[in-house]
Amino acid sequence: MTGSVLLVSEDQAVVRMIGEYLTASGNTVTAAHEGMDMVSYCLSEQCDVVLVESRTTYQDGLELLKAMREAHTAAKLILMVPSGSDEEVETYLSHGAFDELIGREEI
């Protein structure tokens, strides 16, 4: 299955690596940038998935998730978190995150 992915990470190596993989798999990938209204993007571009690092200065991942739910976006949010972040993962999942990737070794 292919779709439209919004990739939210400040780490350009992560953006490049994951973006190349997803694009080669037939997905359309947009890298978020500072100042971008990600919720509006998800609504206007019919984004399927938001792949977001939990710790980014672009927008707090949990705030983004809450805003996406309030706006009733259909996009699924998948969280990228460092290893050992079980409490953080549970918080995101309890607020409606679709799934998580733990640690760089899985990314």
* Per-block mean pLDDT, blocks of 10 residues, the chain (107 long): 85 89 94 77 81 67 76 79 66 67 49
Element (H, E) at 80: strand 76-81
pLDDT at 28: 94
Element (H, E) at 102: strand 99-102
The amino acid at residue 79 is: L
pLDDT at 51: 84
Asked whether the beta carbons of 28 and 53 are under 8 A apart, the reply is: no
pLDDT at 104: 47
Buried b / exposed e across 42-68, counting CB within 10 Å, b at 16+? bbeeebbbbbbbbebebbebbebbebb
pLDDT at 16: 92
pLDDT at 36: 73
Q: What is the pTM of this model?
A: 0.73
